[in-house]
Amino acid sequence: MRKHGLSENGGSTETGDRLRNLTPKGLEAASYELRRPVTEMGSTARGAGSSGASHPMAVNETVIALLRPKPNMAKLADDLPHVQAAVDGPDGIGTIASYWTEVPLPATGTWNAPGKGGAQADIVLTAPQDGVPLLFIEVDNCHETAEELADKLEKCARFFKRKVKDTDGKERPMWRTRWTVPEGRYGDTPHPPVLLVFNRIGERNPNRTVPRLQELTRHLWQGERLPDGHHLYDGKIPIIATGLNQLRQHGPAGPVFVRFGRDHPQPLLEAIGNPRLEAANAREAEEAKARTAAYQEQVRRAAQEQAAKQAAEREARRPVCADCGAKFTDARWQAVQPKDWGAAKDSHPHLCDTCKASAVPTPSRQEEHQEPLPEWARHEFMRYPRRPRCPECKAAFTDERWKAVNRTS
């Protein structure tokens, strides 16, 4: 990289580590690889080596401890145990492109020209794919007092509360115009979390600094306790603390993160989240589901009871045969119902089908096939009403036929 003018010598740290800085050309190349604008790549850290570079190095160590990059064993000549242990260890959070360093948080002014009263985040982590939509990180080498750290958090709070008009003309928190974070539910919309990473190289003991810092910033992080045990953090900042050594050793999945207001360390995702609220929401959802199921069962039973009652009432109204006492079938019941004006009525409405068939005489075969007389035969019958007719063709007997029949009889 030095050969191509992408990096330059940045000196050495107090521990003897050599530093390399990216040149403006190197920052431009990095912006291409990370797919970020050059204006968001920061600036070269000139003089970092001469000043000891303790803070930039701690920031880098924090990124590595959270990212936990895994070496490619196929490219290593030796199968070293500690390298294999790193490969087998828990995954980190995000990719290198998920981390932004030295990001201004302007309480006044603009992103590119921040005014007074704002803060600057050492690291901004955006890894929604790993459950961390947005996390601001402050790295302290244990040189600052609790009051100085509290002042930084107050500036963060000013930035979080600042609202500007978005591209659609609506007013939103300024940080939401740059980062996308899911909306909280009504009554519980906390600000983005802030992680404090203490690197114990200074003279101050974080075990004493953190309790004092909690008291100074209680109004920023303390939530509202509800009767069922969980808290709402509407408009509050989740503040979490950890040590760099613990972070290196356990990573973000280890229980080394202490959230202000809680009495036990947790993994990072639990510390920045609200597990009790999530559990309460899950219980509420299960209870609502059970209530819905119970109501649907009640409606089903009521419908069944109503249908059974209507069926019983209908059976009570079903007619019975006046002859044999049998109940009418549905078809017979429908047949004897009153018809429209002019429609044929049933001849035996009080009898069932079987009794009606017995009561109505069956017509003879001759009557079934009897057809009306032709006009000429009707006149002949009227002239000779006693003249016989052929049962097949209905023709009137001729005189000869009539006489022949009469002679035989």
| 242 and 202 within one domain | yes
CA distance 87 to 69: 8
| 367 and 246 within one domain | no
| 303 and 234 within one domain | no
| 94 and 117 within one domain | yes
In this model, does residue 252 exceed pLDDT 90? yes
* Mean pLDDT of the 300-316 span: 94
* Domain assignment present for 26: no
Percent with pLDDT over 90 in the chain: 50
| 232 and 289 within one domain | no
| 161 and 83 within one domain | yes
Strand partners, 8: 21
- 59-71 pLDDT tens trace: 999 999 999 987 6
pLDDT at 253 (0 to 100): 94
Residue 49 binned pLDDT confidence (cut-offs 50, 70, 90): very low
Residue 35 binned pLDDT confidence (cut-offs 50, 70, 90): low
- 190-243 pLDDT tens trace: 999 999 999 999 999 999 999 999 999 999 999 888 887 778 888 999 999 999
| 221 and 207 within one domain | yes
* Domain assignment present for 241: yes
Q: Dihedral sign for Cα 73, 79, 83, 86, please.
A: positive
Most confident of 31-45, 76-90, 322-336: 322-336
Q: Which of 226, 257, 273 is the last residue of a domain?
A: 273
| 281 and 267 within one domain | no
pLDDT at 313 (0 to 100): 94
* Mean pLDDT of the 386-390 span: 77
- 85-116 pLDDT tens trace: 666 677 899 999 999 999 999 999 999 999 98
In this model, does residue 343 exceed pLDDT 90? no
- State pTM to two decimals: 0.65
* Mean pLDDT of the 110-123 span: 92
CA distance 395 to 374: 9
DSSP type of residue 229: S
* Mean pLDDT of the 31-53 span: 59
* Domain assignment present for 27: no
Task: Return the minimum-mean-pLDDT range out of 7-11, 42-46, 91-95, 284-288.
Answer: 42-46
Residue 373 binned pLDDT confidence (cut-offs 50, 70, 90): low
DSSP type of residue 252: T
Which secondary structure element, helix H or strand E, spans residue 153, and what is its range? helix 146-161
Task: Return the minimum-mean-pLDDT range out of 22-26, 158-162, 217-221.
Answer: 22-26
* Mean pLDDT of the 8-35 span: 68
pLDDT at 205 (0 to 100): 95
In this model, does residue 265 exceed pLDDT 70? yes
* Mean pLDDT of the 136-162 span: 96
Q: Which of 228, 250, 273 is the last residue of a domain?
A: 273
Residue 255 binned pLDDT confidence (cut-offs 50, 70, 90): very high
* Domain assignment present for 61: yes
- Give how far the C-alpha of residue 7 lies from the chain's centroid of Cα atoms, to the nearest Å: 47
| 288 and 251 within one domain | no
pLDDT at 107 (0 to 100): 94
In this model, does residue 52 exceed pLDDT 60? no
* Domain assignment present for 330: no
| 300 and 265 within one domain | no
DSSP type of residue 106: -
* Domain assignment present for 19: no
pLDDT at 380 (0 to 100): 56
DSSP string, 123-140: EEEEEGGGTEEEEEEEEE
Indicate the length of the chain as a whole number: 409
| 283 and 234 within one domain | no
User: First-to-last CA distance in the chain?
Assistant: 142
| Residue 258 near residue 271 (C-beta atoms within 8 A) | yes
* Mean pLDDT of the 372-392 span: 66
Indicate the average pLDDT of the chain: 84
| 187 and 283 within one domain | no
The count of structural domains within the chain is 3
Q: Which of 220, 245, 273 is the last residue of a domain?
A: 273
* Mean pLDDT of the 147-153 span: 97
* Domain assignment present for 88: yes
* Domain assignment present for 321: no
Domain with 218, as residue range(s), is 53-273
